[in-house]
Amino acid sequence: MDDLRATVAGLVESLQPDRVVLCPSAAGEAPIDLLVIKDTRLGFLARRQEALDLLPVGSQVEVLVYTPIELEEMCRQENPFVIRALEQGKELYRRPPLA
């Protein structure tokens, strides 16, 4: 669990996302799936690679980075992965609201 905390802390520090959600495992095994919500202009593959580059070599973590607009659209389309992640996942980080 400490490895996961360190991974999330590194992602938060470098990517400055809005949220990080630990997705429920489909099989109860690795890899660990993290859903990262971040407002960015980078394309899907570029932002995913940006996140993966922050992980230690051989990491058992899969990172999917979506913009808030993409996430909203996937919810509207009832994407089962996203719905399950948001309903059953564990929120590990949420950016504090601006004062």
CA 20 from chain centre, in angstroms, equals 5
Q: Which of 20-24, 67-71, 95-99 shows the lowest per-residue confidence on average (mean pLDDT)?
A: 95-99
What residue ranges define each of the domains in the chain, with the CATH number in brackets?
2-94 (3.30.460.10)
Contact assessment for residue 61 and residue 34, using Cβ atoms and an 8 Å cutoff? yes
Sign of CA dihedral 35, 39, 44, 45: negative
pLDDT digits (tens, 9 = 90+) for 77-96: 999 999 999 999 999 999 98
Strands 90-94 and 19-22: antiparallel
Q: Mean pLDDT over residues 3-7, rounded? A: 86
